[in-house]
Structures are given as C-alpha cells and as structure tokens.
Amino acid sequence: MSNNHATIEELLVATEGEHIQFKEAKNRFDSGGAARICCALANRGGGKLVMGISDKRPRKVVGSTAFDQPERTRKGLIDKLHVMVDFEILESESKRVLVFNVASRPVGLPVQVDGIAWWYEADSLIPMPEDVRRGIYAENGFDFSGEVCRGATLTDLDEKAISAFRKTWATYSGNKRIATLSAEQLLRDCDAITDTGVTYAALILFGTRKAVRKYLPRSEVIFEYRSSEASGPAAQREEFTEGFFNYNDRIWELVNLRNDKQHYQDGMFVFPIDTFNERVVREALLNAISHRDYQLAGSVFVRQYRDKLVIESPGGFPYGITVDNILDRQSPRNLLIAKIFQLCGLVERSGQGMNLIYELAVREAKALPDFKGTDAYFVKLTISGQVAAKRILTMFHKIGEERLEKLTTEDYILISKFYNKDEIVDISPEKFAHLAELGIVEGTKLSEVYRRSIGGQSVATTDRKIAVKNFIQEHGEVKTADLVKAFGLSDGYMRALLREMATDGTIEKVGDRRYTSYKPGGRE
C-alpha cells in the first residue's frame, strides 16, 4: 500500500490536471485506458488516478466498483509501465473510492504503453511531444551514437573513411600498431562496433552513402555559399550523405576557396588575418557532428557568407546546457562520437572546442560567437569573420605567446569586452587577477603599457615614475616585490610600470622571470 495518502476531503478540492485524474468508473473501467493514464502521470513526475469521484465540479463521491481485485490490477500496471504503482481504498458514506498512486518515470527514460509514451498537457491525454522525449533521453546522458543499428554490417562502412581515421589516429597517438590492425579490429578498439553489431557512431563517421541514406535518412551535412542574405538558390551547394571522415577536409576546402585576407598594420609591419580561421571552422563542424540530435530528422547546414559562417544543427542544446553556461559545462549528446574524435586528436578533450572558438575570436579581434536564433529544435551558431578592433591585434602582438598561454577563456572574453566597450556588470576584482599579473589591466583599466600601444592615455603619472626611479637609484638594484611593498601598488600595475620604464631606458632590467631585478638606467 502507498504511503502517499490523501483524504476524501483533500481529493474533492484537488485540481485535476497533469498530476491527478478523476474518473467516476461507477461499475467498470477499461484496463488499457487506466494504463495510458498512469503512463502519462508517470511521465509527468508521478500522480494519482482516482476512481469513484466525479471529475466535474463541484466534485462528489459517486463510488466505484471497478477493479474489484486492485492488487491484481496494480501488478498488471507495474508489468506494463515498469514503475512502482500502489493503491489505497477510501470510503465515504459506504461508497468505495479507489486511488492508484503512480511513481515518477526513471531519469532519462520515458514510460511507454504499447510503444507510445503518453503525456498530459493540462488535463488532455496526448502522445508525448518529440522535444519532450528528446529532453528526457538526454537527462542521464543517453547516447544514441553508442546504440547498435539493427541490420547494419561491416559492409555498410566505407574503406576510404576507415583509412582516413586510421591514419589520423596513428599519427596522433604515435602507436604504430594501429597501422597493422584489420578494419574490424580497428573499429572494435574504438568501440565503433561491438559484439552485438555496428553502432550508429560507426555509420555517422564511416558509413557508405547507401548505408547512411538507409539507416539515417535526412542526416546529411549541407554546405552552401551565399553572396548575400537574400533568399534564393545558393551560389554553390554540396551535400554530404556519407561518413564524416570522407568529407571533413572537403568542407574546409570549400570554405577556404573564398577565404579573403584582411590586414592590420603595427608600426612598419603589415600582418594578414584570414577571414575564416581553419581551426575555428573545423571545431565548429566537430561540435555540430558531436552534438546534433540524430533522432530528429534534419540536416546540418554550413552556410558561408562573405564575412561570416552560420552553422545550424538539429536539436537544441544538450540537456543542462545554455548560452550562459556553454563554456563551463560539458554534456556531449553523442558520447561515442566525442570519444572517437578525442582518440584521434580531432578534439583535445570533450567540451573544449567551444572555448577555443571563443578564444580565437578574441585573438583575431572578431566578434564573439553568437547563438541568436537557437531554439529547442535547432542550434544556430554564427561565427564572424570580420576583424572589428584592429587595436586588439597590436596589443596581443606586444604581449607575446608566452603570456598569451596563461590566459583563460574568461580572460579573453573580458579583454574583448574592454575593447568593444561592452557593459561589464558585477565583475569582482578577483576576476582580473590573471590580466593584472600579466600587466594587461590594472583594476578595471588597461595598463599603461598597452593603453599607449592603442593610443590611450597614460594611467601612470610622471611623479610616480620619478618616485620609482629615485627609489631604484637610492637602493642600487631592487626586485618588483620591493617596489610593491614600498609604494603599496598592485603587483600587476608595478610590473607594467617597470616594463614601460625599462623600455624607454629610464631604468635597466637585469635577469629574467623570478630572477628579474631593476637598476638605474642611463636616460634621465
């Protein structure tokens, strides 16, 4: 019997809907109908099926003789639904009220009756909407790509695609044994095939055109080049209905055909910037292949315009992922595909591709990736190719690779906000720790050395420089820590100031890294 008791009085005033259903059932009730109702209640998180109380208000107890052996009915419901069902019998004025208490569905799995997952929309009993079903499957990391495709065999996999994968994996891992494996053993070693058959991941990555069209219809990748936003046929269009390893390089070749160079000048030198960064394009495609919903019919579109790339993929964000947390959380929808990409080095580790896309956008002074237009059915990623703030390129050039390697994705985004004059709200001083240590910012302002490089005004007064110079002359040779202690300034600000003074010859730098010190320079 259930511990989830309710009194007659409570039931009479309860609201009928997604968690409680009333049926008069004075004499009998269809067992199939009861199973469908209980299925929908379970899918809605659990609830009650009440028999013997009218469903119309004002409710009253009418009594029910349906299911005169409720224990047998309970067992039948459990066998059909595979969730816990209990019952309780209440009485009011010698009238019987039968209540079935239905537990919630398991995490990640919708409850079904005869192949249909039933659902309540308010108090209407309907088949579960497809987007709801997909969301439930995603809750516990259900991996469609790891499922075995019934009927598929090794002959449905393309030797050319397998060979491309073998070469990529062997090169990345340095494992010479990979080159000697049979195709079957190679695919077993990466779990693309198992003792029970060929997985969907194997078809997605290595399938022949015939097999993909048969087992995964309408799951192609379509490339289009469009010279403008106007509707109408694309200037160029290619469709790829085959394993990923057969068209991966081809998509980059198509993008690169119209990959214009942009230029920025830093002093005497002019540096080129590709409109479309190869690493960004490849990462965005890998992301679409790894995260699209293959249970939802539709194509991945890669649309190239003169100065932007738009990638659309079926299925909204994976469960638990939003625009706000996309850089912090990892939830690959197709775990086996992500694993295989990682094995052969196409991705560094699961979930990091989007971080790289953001970082490279900032390093090339382009707008941050944009997910405007994304909904529950499609993810739409727009990657800008237009260099928007050339001054940021000069700043990064002066920083140098050694210090750039220490920047986090959050650091890059903050730098982008500085240069694009975006509003920065509720950012604590601790958020700027990395940038201050590197001498890029002081508090919430760009440090003097880099503000000068982009035409900004100095934040270091002449008096402060004179004071630091006099201190060094008095003590002969000092470390940064000595000056920080003497003047009460932050470490990041002092390092930036010392670099500037050493550059203009006011002081002289001695040693490097932790052995760095400063002594009087020759310039007044």
Chain-centre distance of CA 239, in angstroms?
Answer: 25
Look at residue 350 in the predicted model and tell me its pLDDT.
Answer: 46
CA 489 to centroid of chain Cα atoms? 40
Say how far apart CA 508 and CA 521 lie, in whole Å: 5
CB 103 within 8 A of CB 41: no
* Rg (alpha carbons) of the chain, rounded to whole number: 32
b vs e for 106-143, b when ≥16 Cβ sit within 10 Å of the residue's Cβ? eeebbbbbeeebbbbeeeeeeebeeeebbbbbbeeebb
The answer to whether 376 and 131 are in contact (CB under 8 A) is yes
Query: Please, which residues have CB within 8 angstroms of residue 131's CB and are 6 or more apart in sequence?
Result: 316, 376, 377
pLDDT for 416: 82
Q: Are 191 and 242 in contact (CB under 8 A)?
A: no
Q: At what angle do helices 31-43 and 70-81 cross, to 10 degrees?
A: 50
How many CA atoms, within 13 angstroms, populate the side-chain half-sphere of residue 279?
Answer: 15
Asked whether the beta carbons of 431 and 407 are under 8 A apart, the reply is no
- Report domain extents, the chain: 8-128, 154-384, 460-524
pLDDT of residue 4: 57
How far apart CA 173 and CA 108 sit, in angstroms, is: 35
Which contiguous run of DSSP H or E holds residue 218? none
CA dihedral sign, ordered 447, 449, 454, 457: positive
Identify the DSSP state of 94.
Answer: T
Which of 385, 220, 389 lies closest to 310, judged by CA?
385
- Is 8-128 in CATH node 3.30.950.30? yes
User: What's the CA gap between 232 and 225, in Å, rounded?
Assistant: 12
CB of 388 within 8 A of CB of 322? no
Q: Residues near 225 by Cβ (< 8 Å), separated by ≥ 6?
A: 234, 235, 236, 237, 254, 257, 258, 303, 304, 305
Q: Collapsing DSSP states into helix, strand and coil, what is residue 47?
A: strand
In this prediction, residue 443 carries a pLDDT of 43
Give me the residue label for tokens 């009333």: 22
- Cα(292)–Cα(290) distance, integer angstroms: 6
Identity (one letter) of the amino acid at 270? V
CA distances from 420 to 88, 104, 110, 381, 430 (A): 65, 49, 46, 20, 21
Enumerate residues 6+ apart whose C-beta is below 8 A from 5: 88
**Angle at the Cα of 74 from the Cα atoms of 68 and 78, rounded to 5 degrees:** 155
> Which segments of 400-453 does DSSP mark as H helices, in order?
401-404, 409-420, 433-437, 448-453
The pLDDT tens digits along the chain (524 residues) read 334 567 899 999 998 999 999 999 999 999 999 999 999 999 999 999 999 999 888 999 999 999 998 888 998 998 888 888 989 999 998 999 999 999 998 877 788 887 788 999 988 999 999 888 878 877 766 789 999 999 999 999 999 999 999 999 999 889 999 999 999 999 999 999 999 999 999 999 999 999 999 999 888 999 999 999 888 899 999 999 999 999 999 999 999 999 999 988 777 778 889 999 999 999 999 999 999 999 888 899 999 999 999 999 998 888 778 888 888 777 778 889 988 998 898 876 445 688 899 999 999 999 999 999 999 889 999 999 999 877 788 778 777 777 777 777 888 888 887 777 665 545 555 556 556 666 666 544 455 444 444 444 444 455 678 888 888 988 888 988 888 777 766 676 678 788 888 888 889 999 877 778 999 886 55
Residue identified by tokens 């160029």 is 236
Q: Strand (E) positions, 320-395? A: 378-384
In the prediction, which pLDDT does 130 show? 81
- The count of C-alpha atoms lying within 13 angstroms of the C-alpha of 30, restricted to the half-sphere facing its C-beta, is 4
Do the Cβ atoms of 342 and 334 come closer than 8 Å?
no
**Can you tell me which residue has the tokens 């309970």?**
74
CA 2/CA 409 separation, integer angstroms:
52
Cβ-contact 149, 141 below 8 angstroms: no
pTM of the model as a whole: 0.63
- The residues, ordered by sequence, that sit 6+ positions from 447 with a Cβ below 8 Å of its Cβ are 436, 439, 440, 441, 459, 492, 493, 496
The neighbour count for residue 512, using CB atoms within 10 Å, is 7
Domain 460-524 class in CATH:
mainly alpha
Residue 200 vs residues 115, 175, 216: alpha-carbon distances, Å: 22, 26, 9
Residue at token pair 């579960």: 128
CATH match of 154-384 with 3.30.565.60: yes
Are the beta carbons of 90 and 53 closer than 8 angstroms?
Answer: no
Which ranges in 194-247 belong to alpha helices (H)? Answer: 200-206, 209-215
